[in-house]
Structures are given as structure tokens and as C-alpha cells.
Amino acid sequence: MGYYSLLTTCAFIHLLVFMPYAYSNYLENKAGQFFSSGHTNNWAVLVSLNKLGFWFNYRHVANTLSVYRSVKRLGIPDSHIVLMLADDMACNYRNPKPATVFSHKNMELNVYGDDVEVDYRGYEVTVENFLRVLTGRLPPSTPRSKRLLSDDRSNILIYLTGHGGNGFLKFQDSEEISNMELADAFEQMWQKRRYNELLFIIDTCQGASMYERFYSPNLMALASSQVGEDSLSHQPDLAIGVHLMDKYTFYLLEFLEEVHPASQANMNDLFKVCPQSQCVSTPGHRTDLFQRNPGSVLITDFFGSVRKVEITKDTINLTSSVKPPIQRSGSSDMTIESLTYVDQLPVAEIIHQKPKQKDWHPPDGFILGLWTLILLVFFQTYGIKHLKHIF
Amino acid sequence: CSHHPGKARDQFQEELVIRPLHSGDIYASFQFRTLWDTDFLQERQKVSHYRLFPKSLGQVLSKFSVRELHISFTQGFWRTMQWGQPFIPSPPGAELWVWFHDTVSDVDGNWKELTNVLSGIFCASLNFIDLTNTVQPSASFKPLGLGNATDHRFLRYATLPREIVCTENLTPWKKLLPCGSKAGLSVLLKSEKLFHSSFHSQAVHIRPVCQDEQCTSKAWELRQTLNVVFDLYTSGQGKKEWSLFKMFSRTLTEACPLATSSKVYVDITDNPELFELSPATPLLSQAVVLGDRRTYSVFDLTRAETFGQLRSLNLLLRWKGDSGMLRPLLHAERYVAGFGLQTGEIHTVIYNNHPYRAFPVLLMDSVPWYLQLYIHTLTVTSKSRDNKPSYIHYQPAKDRHRPHLLEMLIQLPPHSMTEVTVQFERALLKWTEYTPDPNHGFYVGSSVVSALVPSMVAMNTNFTQDQPLFSSFVPVKEESSYFVRVYTEPLLVNLPTPDFSMPYNVICLTCTVVAVGYGSFYNLLTRTFQVDEPSLPLAKRLANLIRRIRGVPLLA
């Protein structure tokens, strides 16, 4: 009995002594893991490539908005999301419930929500604008919300949905982008160090053809169908009258609804979304250009925005406050005369408005030539000596 | 902490006016106004501390030296004959007009950058505003704020009739309010109800105004207005029984804590039989607005007793029967006449419904360059007689550079209809200039009719601080008339559209013609025929060999 009590007390003492050490080791490992993925911020570019004016392309907008909703829910703010919707479905006159876009039939889930910010809409969704957003070559007056301001520590999620074929995607039914152009755009992004890792998801017919030509490092791609297969739409809603979502994105949304910001789900789970039994088409993926093992990549590395927090125990001295300039409270140099509003329709003034001074232009070449001709003919006929009769 | 902790120099007021319309629809008009005693355009000190005024707009004003900014986003068309005059008129789509300060040297450059910045703030495609749809009106759109210099070189006006308004435009608009959408009247702004209406318009108006009654110094005023008309049948279920909950699916629970005044006005002037308003309120107010004296029941949200026992205010309006509506005195329509895809005619019809007074109106038309107007066919007729305008300003279009601008001051005879017609020819665009859906048509922006309409009731020219917001938007200079702006419908015209499947068809046809026609001809000319000895089978070759040895004639 004594032996056992000695053993237990020994074990207890060992535990007490070594536990803090083990605990700090555990913390260090956790901290090491914290910074191992290499990215510090997350961006998302979500594009819907539906045809303008076609109400039955509702599902493409619903696809994009469901990914938008998941990405916002997991933490990426609107300032880091570039959302491009080629047509307005929510406030379309054919929508029986305006300002809503539903993903599940019987109007269960409104993915449009109350807090949506669309950056490119309508005619602005073109191949040129898409490539400019990716490569960062935008005109200087473009506002910040329309730019992809990523750096070399950004993880970017790119999601495309719409109509496509073997090696190309259709934009607005009047333009196309080929898989080679897309691969080149990603290479430009790599050369300019605009991403750390990039996840490319595409839900179109023959989607796997779009990632065949990628050649830049750190790219992972997922597609809803292989070359030669069509991606199918999921379920229609009889009240709205159209198919609400595509099969692949529907099951992707269901998968993402289970994910929360602290979830440890990894990419291998994402590859299993929508097997052929549910999707009819065969989803594909490509990971050979990706450096890390997909099993160690968390879903929230791309879909969420896990903030890195540095805890410091030192005190930081803030600089002394800047004194605001002394505001002149008195009317030192202000005129005492009262200001007036302008007359909205000053009829008398308008009628007698002086015509604008037209800038003087030198006479046109034709008029000059005509006058030269007339003078030449005149002098030829009458001779110089008759000039004195005139002047 | 500030060094001058005196009275706050900015204040915020919010107001909602509910007006039942005689057709059974209901019109709700929100106005949120922030007044700030500062000068954005001052050289000496930069404004750095923003409290109630949104920082994004303040920075826009100082960077581009804007004196006045008016932007509106509208879904639907305001039906003047059925609904009367709105408090703040706006055309369908997006409209932006800006007065720049006279220190600006490059107005066009500032305008281009301003439209891009605003497109980012409001999530709208305002970057499509460029020189091909911007005009410089010469007499319409005088500044609504303080000032005396009105050189029209500093004014720019543009409209995008095709712009869609949806939740993505409402969200940033709501974020500009001091209380956001969390408290006060803005909790009622739910997009699912607001966009399920006959008319929805949200606008931002920024201008310098008088700080006080003496008007010795300027203050900046930001007004955010939202007008919405709910339809009797789609939102009202066919019954003339409206409540805040039915309209907005929310009730009011408190005023915005940052607001100095937060009121709800209900128009009870038209009193058909059995008009009921509950909860009852003793506060009444009278105001002269749009030439008419109207009586309002006032609910003051800053007082706790307005909310009653349940701590929530849900107004209930019920009425039966129909009251005659005051016929609007000024009303305009526009349509395209003609047939085919070559020529057409634009007709603008302006009605003056005043029984005995004539008044002048200023008609402004901005037509895109691809509708080539023939100004020599411009006719203005009133009561089937020619009516010569007293002022015409016409700036012809320059292809791909400038649109047409036509401004005319027309005197409308009493109780009459005036028709303005002009013929046009449709241009053929280059194939890259067509939109992805060219068969939808091309939009022509609304015409603007500005007028000083004679008023039945004396208007209030005094400026008082506690005037309700809906009556103090347009400055009133004289008692006998009020200023009104009427927008016509936008036009949708089809341009001759090429067949975009044509290149594919042409290639097929050309390749077929080349292959069959030219190929056959080439073969005919260059092909030569040679007689070819067929090779004999083995048996016959052996037989020929033997025959040659024998010296006998060979087989064929």
C-alpha cells in the first residue's frame, strides 16, 4: 500500500513539475502552427458570368451570392471582396420577391441579404475588367472597393460561375476568355507577387478545362465537371419559376454552412463535396502546383479571414497629442452683409442672357482659299492699275 | 479631447412624412439632415474631426472643391397625375448634378474623378458618366444653396436612365447616417419592403445654407432623402388600411439618440369619410408646401409618451371613400413617334392646368449623339398655334463627344397643352460600341421641366430653424409662386442593330464560295490530263514476256 501511495505521490509531483513545461511546449507548438501557413490577409474575387437580360440565369447569381455569404460569414470583410454580378436578379422586374435571391426552394435562405455590396455590376463585368482586377492594372481613378489590393502574403479565393465550354468561358454572351489567358493572368499575378496561395473554383460546363493550362506555383483548382461533361442545375422553385442553384455550388454551400471560423476542416473534405452520385457530373481538382499537402490546408485559409493576433506585454508610449489649430470663433474677416439664395428661375435674367462669347477662330481653309481665288481672278481680269480706282 | 469643448457645431434632424394618396396608395418620405458649421473649402485649416457628417463625403467635397452635390437613385417613375407632386423630384435611374467652386481650373477632370469616387461609395456604375452623356445646362439647375455667382461653366449634369437601384445601393446610403440603421427612423428602412413598391428613390443633397435667421455665415447641409410609394394591391392587399408594420415590417421604438429632432408627420388634410389615425395625438401642425396649405398630425419621437405602454409606435391609418385630389398644375409627358429604324420624332407634351394664370417653364432636353436631331423641324405649339419660346439655347452634339442640349423658356397659356416636337435620325454605331444586349434598345434621359408655378396660398418666405424639413428644401423667394421640377419619362429607342451572328455566317459562306467556286475554276484552268498506262496483272506480264521472246505482237 505504501508503495502505491509513494508511486502516486511521485507521479503527482512529476506532473506538477513537468506540466507547466509541457504546457509551454504545447503553446509554442500552437504558436508555430499559427504562423506556418504564411498568409496574413484574405481576399476573394467572386464573378457571375450570366447573360444579361436572361431571367433563367438566376442560378448563376444565386451561386455567386451563396459563396459571398459564406465568405462574409467566415470573416472576410466587404473591403476585401470584389463581387462582380453581370445582371441584377434581386431587383429585376420578374422577381416575385424583390430584393431577394434564394438558394433553397420554398424561399428558405435569402443569400442576397440586407448588407450586400456589389462592386462590378451589369455592363462592367467584362473580360478586360476581370483581368485588370486580377493583375492590378486599373485606371488611377478607380475607387478602392473595386480594386484587388493583395500582396505577397494574401490568400485569394477566385470563384467563377456561368456558361463555358472546352477551354473557354463566356462573358455576357458576347466575349470569351480562354484558359490560356487565365493561366497567363495568374502568372502575371505571381510575377508581381500578388498572391501567396490561390484557390480557384469554377462551376461551369466542362470546368476542368479551365485549369488545365495553369503553370504558376501555389495554385489549387476545383471544378464542377470534367471536359466533355455538363454541370447541371439543382432544383427549381415553382413560385420564382427558375432553377435556383447549380448542383455543385448547392452542395458546396451545404458543406460551407457546417464550417465555422475555428473549424479544422481541410481541403480533402472540400474535394469530396458533391460526388458523382449527387452531382451527375464528376468534380475535379488539381493540386500539383500547390506546395503544401492539401490535407494540411484549412478551409478557413481561403474562405475565412482568420486574423493573426500578436500579444505583447510591453508598454507602448503614444506620442503627445497634436494640438488642433485654434479655431477662429469670431467673425474676424467675415462680411456682415447677409448671404442670399439664388433665384431658381430668374425669367428676366434668362431672356436677356448675353450670348456666350464665341472664341475667335481664324477663317477656315476653304473660306481662305475661296477668297484667294476670287481675288486672283479679279486681279487677273482687271489688272493692278485699276486698283487705284477702288481705293 | 477637444480644446474648445463648447456647443457642438453639428446637429442632426430626422423626419418622416406619410401622405395617403387618393388612389389608395401611400407615400412615405424620409429626410435625414445634418447641419455642420464648418467650411470644407477653407484653405487655412483642413477638416480632420468628423462627428455626425460622414467622413467619406466630407473628403470628397474638399478634394474636388464641390460647392453643391445632388445625386439620386430612382426605381420607377413618379406618376404626377395620380400621386400629385413629390417633395423631392427625381428621374428614373441615376442623376447627378454638381456645382463646382469657382477656384477649380479643370472642371472636366474633377468631374470624371468625382463620378469614379461616387461609384465606389454608392456601389453604382457611375463610372459610365463621361463626356458623351454630360451636359452643361445654361439656365436650369441653378444652385439650391447659398451663393451669388452662377457661372454655368462650373455646373455639370448627367443622368444614367438605365441604372438599377437595389439593396447594394441602399446599404452604403444607410451607412452614411449617424445612427446607421440601428436607431431612429432608419430602422424602418428594410430593403425587402422598400423595393417591393411602385416607386423608390434615395438621394443625397449637399449644399451650403444659412446658419441662422440673420444669414451672416454659411453652414454645410447634408440631406439624405428617401421617397417610397407603396402600392395598394401589391403591398396593401387591396385594403385602404395602412400601418407602419404593413409598410415597413417594423415599428418605431426610439428616436436616434444623436438627433435633436425626430418627428413623424401624417397628412390629414384630405378628410374623406371615416378617416382614422391611431394612436391619436394632440399635436397638429400646418405647413404650406407645394402651393397648398396642409395639416399634419405630428408624432414627436424624442418624447417618451409617444411610444405609449408597449414602447413601440405603430401608426395605423384607415380610410374609406375617395377624396378629390388637387389636380397638379404642371405635368409633362414624352414619347417617340414614327416608325422604322431610320427616323423618328420626339414629342414632349406639357400641360398647364391652372384655370386662368399663364406661367413660363424652362424645358431642358439632353439627347445622346446617336439620335441626330434636326433642329430646323423643332416646333412648339400651344392650343394649335405656334408658340415662340423667349429663350432658346441649343448646343449641337458632336459624334462620340457630346450629347445634344436643348433649353427653351416657353410661356404656357392657361389651361392648355403645349407640344414640342423635333425630328431625328438614328445613327449607325460602330460594332464595338454596341452593348452586349443591343436589341433591348438605347435609353434617352428624362427631360426636365422647371417652373415657378403660381400658388393658391401664400408661401412662407421666412426662414425659421424649426421649419419641417419637407417644406424647407427649395428656398422660397416670393410668396405668390413655388418652384417645381417635373421629370418626363425616359425614352427607349431602337437603333439599327447589325446581326451579330453575321461574321460567322459570312465566314461560312465565303469559305464555301471560295472552296467550291474558285477551287473548281482553278482546277479547270490548271489541271492537265495525262494518259496513264495501266499496269497489267502478273499473268499477262509473263505472257507478254514469252511473246516478246517468240516475236509475236503483245497483249494489251
C-alpha R_g of chain A: 34
Nearest-Cα residue of chain A relative to residue B75: A91
**Chain A 250-309, CB below 8 Å of chain B: which residues?**
none
Chain B partners within 8 Å of A324 (Cβ): 2-3, 48-49
C-alpha cell at B390: 423667349
Residue with cell 475607387: A143
* Cβ–Cβ gap A331/B216 under 8 Å: yes
> In chain A, what percentage of residues exceed pLDDT 70?
82
* Cβ–Cβ gap B167/A353 under 8 Å: no
- Please state, in angstroms and as integers, the Cα–Cα distance from residue B369 to each residue in B46, B108, B140, B427, following that order: 42, 19, 21, 8
d(CA B364, CA B380): 14
d(CA B199, CA B221): 26
d(CA A196, CA A42): 10
Nearest-Cα residue of chain A relative to residue B437: A52
Say if A196 is an interface residue toward chain B (CB within 8 Å).
no
Say if A144 is an interface residue toward chain B (CB within 8 Å).
yes
pLDDT for the residue numbered A17? 61
C-alpha cell at A30: 500552437
Beta bridge partners of A213: none
**Chain A 23-82, CB below 8 Å of chain B: which residues?**
52-53
Query: B444-480 burial, b for 16+ CB within 10 Å, e for fewer?
Result: bbbbbbbbbbbbeeebeeebeeeebbbbbbbbbbeee
Q: How far is B539 from chain A (nearest CA, A)?
A: 56
* Cβ–Cβ gap A123/B125 under 8 Å: yes
From the list B4, B117, B452, the residue facing A327 with the nearest CB is B4
The CATH architecture annotation of domain B330-493 reads: Sandwich (2.60)
Q: How far is B139 from chain A (nearest CA, A)?
A: 7
> In chain A, what percentage of residues exceed pLDDT 90?
39
Alpha-carbon torsion (A223, A229, A234, A237), positive or negative? positive
* Cβ–Cβ gap A97/B143 under 8 Å: no
Interface probe for B, chosen from A345, A356, A358 (most Cβ of B below 10 Å), is A345
**Is A41-303 assigned to CATH 3.40.47.10?**
no
SS3 A97: coil
Q: Kindly report which listed range (A175-179, A306-310, A356-360, B344-348) carries the lowest average pLDDT score.
A: A356-360
Q: How far is B427 from chain A (nearest CA, A)?
A: 22
pLDDT tens digit string along B174-214? Answer: 999 999 889 999 999 999 999 999 999 999 999 998 887 77
pTM across the whole model = 0.84
**Is the model more confident about B505 or about A283?**
A283
pLDDT for the residue numbered B2? 39
pLDDT tens digit string along A316-332? Answer: 888 876 666 555 544 44
**Is the model more confident about A80 or about A342?**
A80
pLDDT for the residue numbered B43? 54
C-alpha cell at A368: 481662305
Going across the sheet that includes B241-243, the strands are B241-243, B316-318, B276-278
Say if A151 is an interface residue toward chain B (CB within 8 Å).
no
d(CA B465, CA B463): 7
d(CA B28, CA A362): 59
Residue B279: other Cβ atoms inside 10 A: 13
- The domain locations on chain A are 41-303
Cis peptide leading into residue B279 (ω within 30°): yes
From the list A115, A145, A350, the residue facing B409 with the nearest CB is A350
pLDDT for the residue numbered B5? 43
For the residues of B312-350, what is the DSSP string, one character each? -B--EEE--S-PPPPPPSEEEEEEEE--SSSEEEEEEEE
Reported as a pLDDT band with limits 50, 70 and 90, residue B535 is: confident
pLDDT at A334 over 60: no
Q: How far is A65 from chain B (nearest CA, A)?
A: 12
Reported as a pLDDT band with limits 50, 70 and 90, residue A382 is: confident
Provide CATH 2.60.40.740 ranges for chain B.
Answer: 330-493
Angle between helical axes of B107-122 and B167-175 (0-180°, round to 10): 100
> In chain B, what percentage of residues exceed pLDDT 90?
60
Longest dimension (CA), chain A: 150
d(CA A179, CA A357): 57
The values of phi and psi at residue A221, to 5°, are: -130, 145
* Cβ–Cβ gap B409/A141 under 8 Å: no
C-alpha cell at B431: 460594332
B212 with B465: CB under 8 angstroms?
yes
pLDDT at A57 over 80: yes
C-alpha cell at B385: 398655334
pLDDT at B360 over 50: yes
d(CA B152, CA B149): 9
Chain A partners within 8 Å of B150 (Cβ): 342
CB pairs under 8 A between A and B: 154
Residues of A belonging to the active site: 163, 205
* Cβ–Cβ gap A97/B4 under 8 Å: no
